[in-house]
Each structure stands twice: as structure tokens, then as C-alpha cells.
A and B are shown apart, each in its own frame.
Chain A
């Protein structure tokens, strides 16, 4: 074994290189962990936004007219008018979009909306067919997305369209395969009830003929020191109330 002063210097150098490597590794692990934390926080923020949409502003689709004692579609008297709806889809998207732009943590978010309808059989509550509306995806304005959220437009829109197809197809299959066996069987009935009562032994019930579903894609850029990363989440929201 060589015990010259040079060898001791080499050994001490080796130890410091090991130390530097170990610290670098620890730093990378810490940064990676931090990035995962930030990613999850962004996902939580997305779900918070989606929850606030379901808690928040809704357009009523039909209303009860106390004069004629009947349910009917109410006229659209303008965006944001209390108690009125049957707005067209553009108005609905703009209305919900306003809520989102007021609640995003910063304007780097990007949000796509797509309102669809299920057509419901009025007397059985079963899904008659899927949306008859032309498909469209609304890019919420007044936001300034950066990074992947700005460039991945086609990818996000395609994923959202696939998500919509998947969800609505599953509902259709569920409805098709779960036919109610009788008037008191709730299987396969999907719609929102307008009324349900029994009179002289006969059960009367009726459902809204449309069941709106709002599909949302939210994209945000994770602040990071390692590598750029976007978080995109897809949500299907059922409006809380759509009977005025």
C-alpha cells in the first residue's frame, strides 16, 4: 500500500466527489418530489374549479309557470338573467366561461367546455339517444396559456372529444341493458323527474326530455425547476339544478 501524501490527497478528492454526487442526487430527488407535489396541487385546483362550476352559476332549462300550472321552457331574456334560461349553447359556454376566468388562480390556465345533451324519454326516463346538437368545443377566452397548454390544442380537444364519447356511450349502454321491469322499477331510468305520484293506484311520473352534461378540460402549466410539464384533467359535470 502506498502511503505517500499524493495518495491521501487522491482519497480526500474521492470522498468529496462522492459527497458532491450524493448531494446532487439528494437535490434531484428533492426537486422531483417537489414537482410531483406541485403537479398534484394543480390537479386539486382543477377539481376545485370543476366543483365550483357545479356549485355555481347554472342556467335553468325549464321552469314552472304558476299561471298555467305547467312546466315549460322559459324564454331566453338575456345572459345572466335570474330565473331565465333555455339559452343557446354559445351563451351557456360564455356564462360558465366567465365563472371560470373569475376563479382560475392565474391566467396561464386553459379551459375547454362542451355542453351536450342526452335526450330522455319523457314517460320512462330512459335515454332515447345522445346529443342531437352539433358537436363543438369552446375555448374559454380571456386566458393566456403558456407552454404545453398553449400548443397542445388539438391533443386536448381530441382527448376531450374521446372522453365525451366514452362517457355518453357508457350511459347509453347502461340504459339499454337495464330496462325497468315495471312501473316501480327504477333501473335504467336516468332523467330528472318533473313529478312522481300515485293516484288511484296508478303511478304517474314524467321526466325532463333533455339532460344536459357539461364536459370540461382544464390545462395548467406546473411551475418547475426540472422540466416543463402540463397537467390536464377532464371532467363530466351534471348541472346541479336545471328546473326553475
Chain B
């Protein structure tokens, strides 16, 4: 009788404690992934800003943004098309991510090339950029995706700064850029208890400011 009671208590204790321990371990794993992704994004953003402030980055100019897409192995054509759409939207007036010009300059493409190269070097498993309009991890290809983007900025002023009014910019004007690295990462904990969360991924973004990081070329300006 005694042994049965003790065994029952032990099983009960294990049944109570084990899920809690597992949840804590999963939470630590997820938080560690977020932590590492924050450092990763900050490193890439700072590196990209450093490259952007150099006079002439020593690398080939990608012939198109299609060269700056890295898909997951076996990824569907739709996801790849959405990754390309992310690039296109940066240059498409009316979209949320429109940066105010109709094309990237040669230097901007070189900076992207080196920025994504550094990103791949740090983590070869990362796909880029984040597919446009994704709503769940499946549309990310199930793995971490990151985007490097920028917006034109005026000289930093106290109390924050806003985007540069591109209507005032002329060809040849030297401008600053705020580089942002945004990463979408799937999390184990969210996948286990999805009903508590709105999304099954976590977005992390970090920025770095590149002061006077290149001129606007005449062919970039909207007609």
C-alpha cells in the first residue's frame, strides 16, 4: 500500500514538474536564439554601414537584385518570387518599403553584395531577403530569413530623425543612410503553443547609421 502511494506521488511529481522543466528549457532555447539573432543583426547592420561609408567598396556590382537572393534548398517558386518582390518593393512607389528612388546606385548594390556576403559568412543557413507578404513560418521556407535595407536620412539631429525628403534631393547630392537588418526567426516555443501567439515567428531588427554614404545618381531619381 505504502509503495503504491509513494510511486503514485512520484509519478504525480514527475507529471507536474516535467512539462514545466521542458517549457523552461524551450523558453531558454528560444530566448537564446533571439539573443544570438539580435547580435547577428547588429553585427551585419554595423558592418554594412561601415562598408557604406567607404569611398569605393572593392567588389563587383551585381547585375540585378535577382543575384542577391538566397533561397532555402527545395524552396517553392512562390517563396522565391516573394523574395524578389521584397527587392522590387523598395523601388516601387506606393509600397511601405519604397525608399524614394527608382533604382539602386552601383555603390548601393556593391554594399548590399558585401553586406549579404558578410551575413552568409556569419550564418550560411540564413536565406534572404525575407519574402514579401509572408504571414507564417512555412512562407519563410521554415528557416531564418533576413533582409538588409536602408532609407535615406538627413544629418542626425537631437531628439530623433525622420526620413529624408527626397523631393529636395538633386543628382550628385551626398546623403546619409540608415541601414536596417531585419530577421524573421521561427521559434520552438511558439510552434508548441501557437494559440497563445498571433504569429509563429519573431521579427528582430537592428539599425546602423551610415553618415554621408554615397551620392544619389541622376538615373535613380524619379522622373
Contact = CB atoms under 8 A, between A and B. Distances in A.
B81 interface: no
Contact of B209 (A12, A45, A98, A103): A103
Contact of A44 (B17, B32, B39, B161): B39
B4 to A, nearest CB: 10
B35 A44 contact: no
B192 interface: no
Interface in B1-28: 1-2, 5-6, 9-10, 13, 16-17, 20-21, 24, 27-28
Contacts of A33: 28
Given A19-B17, A142-B159, A55 B211 contact: yes
B49 A41 contact: no
Given A8-B2, A41-B39, A51-B50, A57 B211 contact: yes
A50 to B, nearest CB: 10
Nearest to A18: B13
B38 A41 contact: yes
Per DSSP, chain A at the interface is helix
Contacts of B13: 15-16, 19
A55 B158 contact: no
Interface residues of B, number: 36
Nearest to B47: A51
Interface string A20-42: 00110011001001100100010
B53 interface: yes
Given A12-B9, A19-B13, A102 B156 contact: yes
Interface string B32-70: 100100110010011001100100000000000000000
Contacts of B119: none
A80 interface: yes
Contact of A23 (B9, B17, B27): B17
A167 interface: no
A102 B17 contact: no
A56 interface: yes
A212 interface: no
B51 to A, nearest CB: 10
A27 B209 CA distance: 38
Given A12-B9, A16-B13, A103 B156 contact: yes
B150 to A, nearest CB: 14
B194 to A, nearest CB: 23
A52 interface: yes
B122 interface: no
A151 interface: no
Given A23-B20, A142-B158, A52 B208 contact: yes
A16 B211 CA distance: 60
Nearest 8 interchain pairs by C-beta: A102-B156, A56-B211, A12-B9, A101-B158, A98-B158, A99-B156, A3-B2, A8-B5
Given A57-B155, A142-B159, 12 more contacts: A8-B6, A11-B6, A15-B13, A19-B16, A19-B17, A30-B28, A41-B38, A52-B49, A55-B53, A55-B211, A102-B159, A240-B53
